[in-house]
Amino acid sequence: MTEYRVLGRTGLKVSPLCLGAMMFGWWGESDPGESARIIDRALDAGVNFIDTADVYSQGQSEEYVGRALAKSGKRDQVVLATKCHGVMGEGPNERGNSRRWIFQAVENSLRRLGTDWIDLYQIHRFDPDTDVEETLGALTDLVRQGKVRYIGSSTFPAHRIVEAQWAARRRSLERFVCEQPPYSMLVRGIEADVLPTIERYGMGAIVWSPLAGGWLSGRYRKGADLPETRRSDRLPQRYDMTIEDNQRKLEAAERLAVLAEEAGLTLIELALAFTIRHRAVTSAIIGPRTMEHLESQLTAADVRLSDDVLDRIDEIVPPGVTLNPADAGWQPPELSDAGLRRRP
């Protein structure tokens, strides 16, 4: 892996594959030693970008990453990213995007990561209860204090990305330099609006779930027993095969697996190479739980898909189409709360 890409207009260079640490900790790999070995192998392969979040295993992921980097002595060589927003305690103010919580959350993350600064601090989800100017104001202060180098958003819809850019410009605040949306061959909705918006504002795109939550791992094939995972138990709307949208995903995954075989690739290589080929995408987040998972994904960084293969992918899942809306990562509250659609 020799190619490095500039993150938006920052001048910061990152690898096309970003090591996601969601599976480090009790959510996935509970052995900190094995997590450290996975991190070391990724760094040796040329990955210089690690992404985690405070909510992953309730802070344990950050602790594992921090220990591994301290032991390796490679903290200065790594672009280290984390996120805040998720529920981290029982109190009503131990979550969200308020100034109070962001200031507390960043201190907690710095302590767990064992570092004096965070290269990229991201807001994990949009918070309808908090004015985006308050959020940006708090993040701007953290940048000026030297605790954070850059700021970004995650899973924001296009209109909220625009709102944040305008608010930053209007108030002379630090702006989000990147967005982290879901993107895969089965989840292409962001091609219609989010990715063009990212390009318009000179932002980077760090896409998550490029294997569509495991659907593009090669384990979901027609006629085979479907794997039972914690995710399928936790998110039945995305895995329950009695749901028609998931049947469509299985059919598409099968056709994509056949295409990968014809192209001389694994389905994992096809899936990852597809995401990083989009001109607006800076990096794709890989989230290995085991060393085997990591090795199966690293090779994708050197794969360049031909236009013929990309055209065939478009035939299987058309551009801008997300086969199951439950995979979109975020649902507007106006769709889930009937009270927001009805005049009292």
Residue 221 class from Cβ within 10 Å (0-12 exposed, 13-18 middle, 19+ buried)?
Answer: middle
> Would you state the structure tokens that stand for residue 241, as one six-digit string?
């095969």
CA distance 152 to 161: 10
Helices (H), the chain: 32-44, 60-72, 99-113, 132-144, 158-171, 194-200, 230-234, 236-239, 244-262, 267-277, 291-298, 307-316, 333-336
CB atoms within 10 A of CB 214: 17
Using alpha carbons only, what angle is made at residue 303 by residues 35 and 182, rounded to the nearest 5 degrees?
60
**pLDDT reported for residue 1:** 62
**Unique residue bearing structure tokens 């805040």:** 84
The pTM for the full model equals 0.95
Cα separation, 73 vs 115, whole angstroms? 12
- Active-site position among 56, 183, 220, 239: 56
Q: How confident is the model at residue 331, as a pLDDT?
A: 84
| Angle 241-242-243 from CA coordinates, rounded to 5° | 85
Kindly state the tokens that stand for 167: 């608010």
Q: Which domains does the chain have, with CATH numbers?
A: 11-180 (3.20.20.100)
Each residue's pLDDT expressed in tens, for the chain with a length of 344 residues: 668 999 999 999 999 999 999 999 999 999 999 999 999 999 999 999 999 999 999 999 999 999 999 999 999 999 999 999 999 999 999 999 999 999 999 999 999 999 999 999 999 999 999 999 999 999 999 999 999 999 999 999 999 999 999 999 999 999 999 999 999 999 999 999 999 999 999 999 999 999 999 999 999 888 777 777 777 777 889 999 999 999 999 999 999 999 999 999 999 999 999 999 999 999 999 999 999 999 999 999 999 999 999 999 999 999 999 999 999 998 888 888 898 889 88
Active site residue 150: no
